[in-house]
Amino acid sequence: MFKARSLLGLLDFEFFRTAWRNWYGEDPDDHRIEPGFMRFLLNQQAPSYVRHFARLVLEQAASGRLDLAAFGLEAEDRPVEPVETLKDDFASSSLLVVLGLLLIIAF
């Protein structure tokens, strides 16, 4: 779910709202999302509509067909990066953290 959320440039709760809208075809009230969102925060268990939406986003991104407008999102507000770029960014960030820790330990 985290990769899909990052691809859309959304925070967790907004990802849940967008997933609800995609699944049910309507804008949700916050009180309808909150129980599933709290389960996710406490137990890392996302509702089925969120898991389905995450798979859809990842599949579209992998095939180069990710269309933010189809999900009611503005493309110009949320730059979409390919999954490979996100992996490279994570690897680069991890390497910098490790090097920083080594420097701290050395001195």
Asked which of 19-23, 26-30, 91-95 is least confident by mean pLDDT, the reply is: 91-95
Token pair for 100? 């920083």
0.85 cut: is pTM over it?
A: no
Residue given tokens 């490279």 in the structure block: 88
pLDDT of residue 32: 92
**SS3 at position 11:** coil
Core vs surface per residue 1-30: b (16+ CB within 10 A) or e: beebbbbbbbeeeebbbbbbbbbeeeebee
Inform me whether the pLDDT recorded for 48 exceeds 70.
yes
49 in Cβ contact with 25 (< 8 Å): no
Inform me whether the pLDDT recorded for 16 exceeds 80.
yes
The band of 54, judged by pLDDT with boundaries at 50, 70 and 90, is very high
Rounded Cα distance, 81 and 79, in Å: 6
Distances (CA, A) of 12 to 79, 88, 97: 17, 22, 25
Inform me whether the pLDDT recorded for 64 exceeds 50.
yes
Over residues 7-18, mean pLDDT? 92
Inform me whether the pLDDT recorded for 78 exceeds 50.
no
Report the percentage of the chain scoring pLDDT > 70: 78
Sequence letter at residue 76: E
Instruction: State the chain's mean pLDDT as an integer.
Output: 82
4 in Cβ contact with 58 (< 8 Å): yes
